[in-house]
Amino acid sequence: MHIRGFQPRDTDELYRVCLRTGDAGEDATALYTDPRLLGEVYVGPYLALEPQAALVIELDGVASAYALCAPDTAAFEAACAATWWPPLRERYPLGTFPAGSPDDELVRTIHDPPRTSPELLREYPAHLHIDLVPEVQGRGLGGELIRTLLTQQARVGVPGIHLGVATTNLRAIGFYEHLGFSTLCVDGDTTVMGLRLTTA
């Protein structure tokens, strides 16, 4: 089991990691009609647009966890708007799935993706996502994965990074606080946390 950079052959496995952790950390397989849709929203754009900032934990030859990062969130969101969302909107028009279903909510996100506030990005321009399947949880690997990513981003001059976590997920909030993150704001059911990086 080791941490390494993303390779294109990992893509399908990382989509599966996303699905297996997509229900507030629990398996979301039963929730979605289209098993790739969650990954298309939360994994695919990072692999396509920021592959150099994607890290993977490999277990027995299979990618079983990831840390994904956009070093410049504003530029990333602009690139998604230009190149990632348009073909997905063609593939998943509004109304593809029953109204109010989990699939429908993701399709609505594809058609109207959230934008990060410029105020947040002034000090914390980067953001990250991390997910680990149960087989690699509880071994300290999540912390190691994030520390590796933070070191990588500090080395290339990123001054600060943020992430969102469910406000009810006190365990995750405690995990990020242990890594040095602090709460920046609470936006509905999401707590936004940030960390200033020491750049070289």
97 occurs within a structural domain: yes
pLDDT at 95 over 70: yes
Residue-level pLDDT at 189: 87
146 occurs within a structural domain: yes
DSSP, res 192: E
Rg (CA), the chain: 16
Provide, rounded to the nearest whole percent, the portion of the chain with pLDDT above 90.
82
Q: Which has the closest alpha carbon to 187: 113, 116, 105, 109?
A: 116
Residue-level pLDDT at 171: 84
- Cα separation, 73 vs 65, whole angstroms: 22
pLDDT at 200 over 80: no
Domain CATH number, residue 74: 3.40.630.30
- Cα separation, 86 vs 124, whole angstroms: 27
178 occurs within a structural domain: no
187 occurs within a structural domain: no
181 occurs within a structural domain: no
pLDDT digits (tens, 9 = 90+) for 16-40: 999 999 987 889 999 999 999 999 9
Domain boundaries, position 69: 2-122+129-158
The helix/strand count (H/E) of the chain reads as 9, 7
Q: Taking a C-beta distance cutoff of 8 angstroms, is the pair 15, 8 a contact?
A: no
pLDDT digits (tens, 9 = 90+) for 35-78: 999 999 999 999 999 999 999 999 888 899 999 999 999 999 99
pLDDT at 97 over 60: yes
pLDDT digits (tens, 9 = 90+) for 122-169: 999 999 999 999 888 877 788 999 999 999 999 999 999 999 998 888
pLDDT at 199 over 70: no
183 occurs within a structural domain: no
194 occurs within a structural domain: no
Number of compact structural domains in the chain: 1
The pTM for the full model equals 0.93
100 occurs within a structural domain: yes
Interhelix angle 170-178/141-155, rounded to 10 degrees, is 50
Q: Taking a C-beta distance cutoff of 8 angstroms, is the pair 41, 106 a contact?
A: yes
- Cα separation, 83 vs 171, whole angstroms: 36
- Cα separation, 195 vs 29, whole angstroms: 32
